[in-house]
Structure 1
Amino acid sequence: MSLSAFAGSCGALPTRFRRPRLLIIGCGDVGLRVQRLALASPGAAQRGRVYALTSSPERLALLRAAGITPLQGNLDQPRTLRRLAGLATHLLHLAPPPGQGRDGAALLHDPRTLALVRSLRRGRLPQALVYASTSGVYGDCAGAWVPETRPVAPATARAQRRVAAEAVLRQSLGRSGVRVSILRVPGIYAPDREGGTPRARLLRGTAVLQASDDVFTNHIHADDLARACQLALWRGAAQRIYHASDNTQLRMGDYFDGAADLYGLPRPPRLSRREAQVQLPPLLLSFMSESRRLENHRLRHELRLRLRYPTVAEGLRSPSGMGLMTKK
């Protein structure tokens, strides 16, 4: 459903209340793609307003140029969030948790999401909220196919923070009548996204695991993720989890080999897992320690998203384009 279609379903309320109001928290690359989708959709002239929270004064002009009303505030400073209460009918939460606590200690919860929820509860709650989480909440699945019903088993503090954020949203807002939908997102790529292709890593010659030790990895093109976000805002079921992943079934090394062939670059060197533990940094190793294949049935059949880029081979070869593609 488009913003204008939603507005037409709200009866005889005054116009300023009939129109939906979308608030984007964490309006970076994906948030801007969501806005471009809204502008390109039928009835865009009658759509509701789109707001975005930003803590960066230098982004104000960029957001305004995109047709977004910027709101200055900082999730790390709860007092700056008071104006969010009662503002939005729909909310898209794309902001990541902080990497660590203020004292540098390990952090296993998400104070940013908690601050957002507390600010929202001071006014009328939004009708729907979509949160972009991570597929890392499952931990290592030994290459198994993973449905949305699989219990979470986060193996890193980074994934644990996402689990905590999901729980806060589902328990605090979902139980208060907000239609909370969770998108669990794997690796995001796009040729027109900063750092959105493996080209820089290939140029550095960073190694990957040998075939016998390699892991399955999952991907989503940034344009398809934007479509998933938009559809979840209007079609997502309450307390429902969706895997925002494409149809690719690739091991990580094969992904980089394919990209290297596409760019005409040398394929990356291969290491045994034991060699990798000595030569590669811990963060990179953490991604090489988890293997899973995400099922995306709900994405395709419940949200009715027709992937523009069903595989990374197609996505890396094609220029990015916008336009909502759904099954009729």
Structure 2
Amino acid sequence: MSLPSRPAFARPRLLIVGCGDVGMRLLPLLAGRFRVFALTSQPERCAELRAAGAVPVIADLDRPASLARLRTLAPWVLHLAPPQPDGDTDRRTRHLVAALGEVRRIVYVSTSGVYGDCGGALVKEHRPVAPKNGRARRRVDAERILRAWALAAGATLSIVRAPGIYAADRLPLRRLEQGTPALRPEDDVYTNHIHADDLARIVMLALVRGRPGRLYHAVDGTRMKMADYFDAVADTVGLPRAPRLPRAELARVVSPVLLSYMSESRQLDNTRLARELRVHLQYPDVATALARLRR
């Protein structure tokens, strides 16, 4: 889906904070509708961002003094930047909201990890958060900070909670090539998925259709356990399937970070995504995406 194009002088200014892979996929969707500014801490990315249609803004969320220009830059904001990799609070989001001026609309991309382990249950957006690790606690902190800031600033906030993001160039090939083991079926966990192109489209629609203060699950219709996903990818690309191990044995051979992902089981409901944002996914499930790769 594309938004109606506007003359350059009539385009509202929009700031993308964290213009990585998903942000770059967003830029073509926003072209002609917004004048887009992209925050980057890497000067060497300026040419890439300009070529994609964005105006680079060199600043660093870890250095609050560098963010002064943001105060009057744009009334529309897409916050895609992850927290810093340590602690239980998101210092980057705190620095960002302290720097922003009059913002009309902001969309934040969070993570489904905020729910913690749900025992494989179907999860709707009203389920209370229960983060089990620092990574998820930082995301919960960011959501809370943004809600409080938006209320005080009179801005409209929507939050998109995304699960595992995949694409043709974002598949677990290295893990399969290294033979990293997976859980046996009786110990395995349900995981959730969204194609990076569909996530970009969801973020765009949340920007223009999202309700104030609303949460949305950016997830496709896949109902699949983690090892089954690895098997499907392996079969598609012609790699050996991962060996299966009991949880106690696997815990001795994988990293704590990987084990944390393999210790949380949930199935995200995406009814609100279709009903309110009217999203039509290009990749409605993992099987569809992998089938297209085989063509």
TM-score, length basis structure 2: 0.95
1:123-173: CA deviation from partner (whole Å, max 9, x where unpaired): 3x2211010100000000000000000000000010000000000001112
Shift of the 4–127 alpha-carbon distance from structure 1 to 2, 3 Å rule, reads farther
Q: Distance in 1 between matches of 2:106 and 2:126?
A: 20
Matches within 5 A, 1:219-238: 219-238=193-212
Shift of the 28–302 alpha-carbon distance from structure 1 to 2, 3 Å rule, reads same
Spell out structure 1 runs of 4+ moving beyond 3 A.
1-5
Q: Distance in 2 between matches of 1:203 and 1:2?
A: 38
Q: Is the counterpart of residue 54 in structure 1 residue 54 in structure 2?
A: no
Q: Distance in 2 between matches of 1:139 and 1:95?
A: 21
Shift of the 307–3 alpha-carbon distance from structure 1 to 2, 3 Å rule, reads closer
Cα pair 1:197 1:316 within 8 Å, conserved: no
Q: Distance in 2 between matches of 1:318 and 1:224?
A: 15
Q: Distance in 2 between matches of 1:317 and 1:77?
A: 44
Q: Is the counterpart of residue 170 in structure 1 residue 156 in structure 2?
A: no
> What's the secondary structure of 1:279's corresponding residue?
coil
Q: Is the counterpart of residue 23 in structure 1 residue 15 in structure 2?
A: yes
What is the alpha-carbon root mean square deviation over aligned residues? 1.6
Aligned position for 1:104: none
Cα pair 2:103 2:153 within 8 Å, conserved: no
Unaligned 5+ residue runs, structure 2?
none
Cα pair 1:190 1:316 within 8 Å, conserved: no
Q: Distance in 1 between matches of 2:290 and 2:36?
A: 30
Paired residue type of 2:106 = L
Matches within 5 A, 1:133-148: 133-148=110-125
Matches within 5 A, 1:1-328: 4=4, 16=9, 18-39=10-31, 44=32, 47-100=33-86, 107-120=87-100, 123=101, 125-191=102-168, 193=169, 196-318=170-292
Deviation of 1:315 after TM superposition, in Å, equals: 1.6
Cα pair 1:3 1:48 within 8 Å, conserved: no
Deviation of 1:260 after TM superposition, in Å, equals: 1.2
Q: Distance in 2 between matches of 1:278 and 1:61?
A: 45
TM-score, length basis structure 1: 0.86
Deviation of 1:245 after TM superposition, in Å, equals: 0.5
Query: Identity, % of aligned pairs?
Result: 55
Shift of the 266–3 alpha-carbon distance from structure 1 to 2, 3 Å rule, reads closer
Cα pair 2:120 2:189 within 8 Å, conserved: yes
Q: Distance in 2 between matches of 1:73 and 1:188?
A: 26
Q: Distance in 2 between matches of 1:299 and 1:180?
A: 16
> What's the secondary structure of 2:107's corresponding residue?
strand
